[in-house]
């Protein structure tokens, strides 16, 4: 077991690079769909790390700047809230006398659209940030990583479960309530899901990790 420093790439939070035993490796944080929805398993499974050249390592490791633009998602979330408000005040009230279930239909429809939007945004972001570097055809190793500071890791995992609880509570509230005023929760729900969808990446921001080689 060896202590290594894992670094993020310039304008790309999907990948991490590190130096280990005088060799350089690339880790794809989005390689596993399972970890996208259950990031807490990242420290209990093996990861495929690809070998890269020293020059490529230096080029990729030019900054720790993240290229995520939260304002894009915040703007979309505000559009969802505004659209829900307009639907509540005008369309629902206009159709309610003729279609008694229109409020419930619109509520579930907006919930589905907002969740679909967040998932689509997450997968599109991952696809957009894929490196042009052809790393999948290179030699690789399977390693198991665990954080050197478990207190910070446990804090991140607890934060994930708190967000998950809030998300489930919001969905439950939307499903069981008969009030159209749940439009506020409809706006909060995609934001919580957005944070959860990037939780797998945040777990690789602890910098120092213990690495054990499993196979080559």
How many structural domains compose the chain?
1
Domain that holds residue 117: 2-215
Q: pLDDT: is 37 or 89 the higher one?
A: 37
What the block records as the tokens of 24 is 């350089």
pTM: 0.74
The backbone torsions φ and ψ at residue 13, rounded to the nearest 5 degrees and listed phi first, read -90, 0
Q: Using the structure block, give the residue that is written with the tokens 């790390």.
A: 49
Q: In 169-207, which positions are buried (b, 16+ CB within 10 angstroms) versus exposed (e)?
A: ebbeebeeeeebebbebbbbbbbbbbbbbebbbebbebb
pLDDT reading at 87 higher than 90:
no
Q: What are the tens digits of pLDDT across the range 128-156? A: 888 888 888 889 999 999 888 888 889 98
């Amino acid at each position: 077991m060896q202590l290594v420093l894992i670094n993020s790439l310039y304008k790309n939070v999907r990948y991490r690079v590190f130096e280990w035993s005088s060799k350089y490796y690339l880790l794809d944080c989005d390689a596993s769909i399972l970890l996208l929805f259950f990031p807490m398993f990242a420290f209990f499974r093996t990861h495929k790390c690809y070998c890269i050249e020293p020059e490529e390592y230096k080029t990729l490791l030019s900054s720790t700047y993240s290229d995520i633009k939260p304002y894009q998602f915040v703007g979309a979330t505000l559009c969802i809230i505004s659209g829900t408000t307009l639907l509540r005040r005008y369309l629902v009230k206009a159709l309610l006398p003729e279609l008694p279930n229109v409020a419930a239909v619109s509520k579930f429809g907006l919930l589905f659209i907002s969740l679909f939007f967040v998932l689509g945004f997450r997968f599109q972001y991952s696809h957009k940030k894929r490196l042009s570097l052809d790393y999948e055809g290179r030699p690789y190793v399977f390693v198991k990583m665990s954080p050197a500071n478990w207190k910070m890791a446990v804090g991140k995992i607890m934060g994930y479960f708190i967000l998950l609880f809030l998300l489930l509570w919001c969905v439950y509230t939307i499903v069981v309530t008969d009030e159209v005023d749940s439009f506020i929760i409809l706006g909060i729900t995609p934001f919580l899901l957005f944070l959860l969808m990037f939780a797998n990446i945040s777990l690789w921001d602890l910098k120092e990790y213990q690495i054990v080689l499993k196979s080559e």
